[in-house]
């Protein structure tokens, strides 16, 4: 067996945010197994002869089972292929990377992990704000907005998530943020805490909405959009503190 798997982090979706190593692995791959958010222009870097296999998972849609994705990786590698497993953002952040690595190790398949621009960093950059702020946001925390059933996880550390001195980024949280906001406010987070809804970050349809935790919770209670999004809240997004650049470059 001479096959090998490269877990390639594609960043938030803008192909210009790919690393040089990510592009090199795509150009050399015999097969690319890609997530939905890693498709589009990014796949233009793959060889014309490469197998392109969609294995993305999206809430509310029929998606490949994790065991099927892992089996495909192993089968391609055993056949001697150079495989790219293309994941959005950074592969190590809520990308189910551990399960696929465990399957490869059990099968004796070699692999590497190529980091990428996390979508949280891209969202903050698009909004023209930092993820940390001296004296007021010394800590950054990432949390998932849903568990394997799609519901808000029951074991969240609400004391930590309600810390007003932290910058909190909620991944995959639009469907559950109304409930999360209620729990945050009950845990002491001011309802007026600034929040940012970052949708389709780095894509042509990118939309950034400045609001508060309470107002965003009210909005998302009735919104049904399936556009992928991140939610940032905390001291970080006090937009009125200093003048800043426009949300969109000219």
List active site positions.
35, 57, 172
Residues 77, 71 contacting (CB under 8 angstroms): no
Tell me whether residue 80 is exposed, middle or buried, using C-beta atoms within 10 angstroms of its C-beta: 0 to 12, 13 to 18, 19 or more. exposed
Cα dihedral 82, 85, 88, 92 in deg (nearest 10): -110
User: What is the distance between the alpha carbons of residues 149 and 153, in angstroms, rounded to a whole number?
Assistant: 9
Tokens of 138: 């010394």
User: What is the distance between the alpha carbons of residues 23 and 11, in angstroms, rounded to a whole number?
Assistant: 12
Tokens of 226: 């399936």
């Amino acid at each position: 067996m001479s096959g090998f798997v490269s877990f390639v982090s594609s960043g938030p979706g803008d192909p210009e945010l790919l690393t040089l190593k990510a592009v090199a692995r795509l150009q050399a791959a015999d097969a690319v197994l890609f997530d939905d958010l890693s498709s589009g222009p990014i796949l233009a870097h793959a060889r014309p002869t490469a197998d392109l296999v969609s294995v993305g998972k999206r809430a509310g849609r029929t998606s490949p089972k994790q065991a099927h994705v892992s089996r495909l990786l192993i089968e391609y590698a055993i056949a001697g292929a150079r495989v790219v497993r293309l994941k959005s953002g950074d592969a190590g952040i809520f990308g189910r990377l551990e399960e696929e690595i465990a399957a490869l190790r059990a099968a004796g398949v070699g692999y590497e992990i190529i980091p990428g621009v996390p979508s949280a960093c891209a969202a903050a950059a698009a909004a023209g704000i930092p993820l940390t702020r001296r004296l007021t946001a010394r800590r950054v925390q990432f949390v998932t907005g849903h568990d394997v059933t799609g519901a808000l996880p029951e074991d969240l550390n609400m004391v930590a998530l309600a810390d007003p001195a932290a910058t909190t980024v909620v991944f995959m949280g639009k469907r559950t943020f109304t409930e999360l906001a209620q729990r945050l406010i009950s845990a002491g987070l001011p309802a007026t805490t600034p929040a940012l809804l970052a949708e389709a970050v780095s894509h042509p349809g990118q939309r950034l909405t400045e609001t508060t935790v309470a107002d965003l919770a009210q909005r998302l209670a009735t919104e049904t959009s399936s556009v992928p999004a991140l939610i940032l809240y905390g001291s970080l997004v006090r937009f009125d503190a200093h003048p800043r650049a426009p949300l969109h470059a000219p």
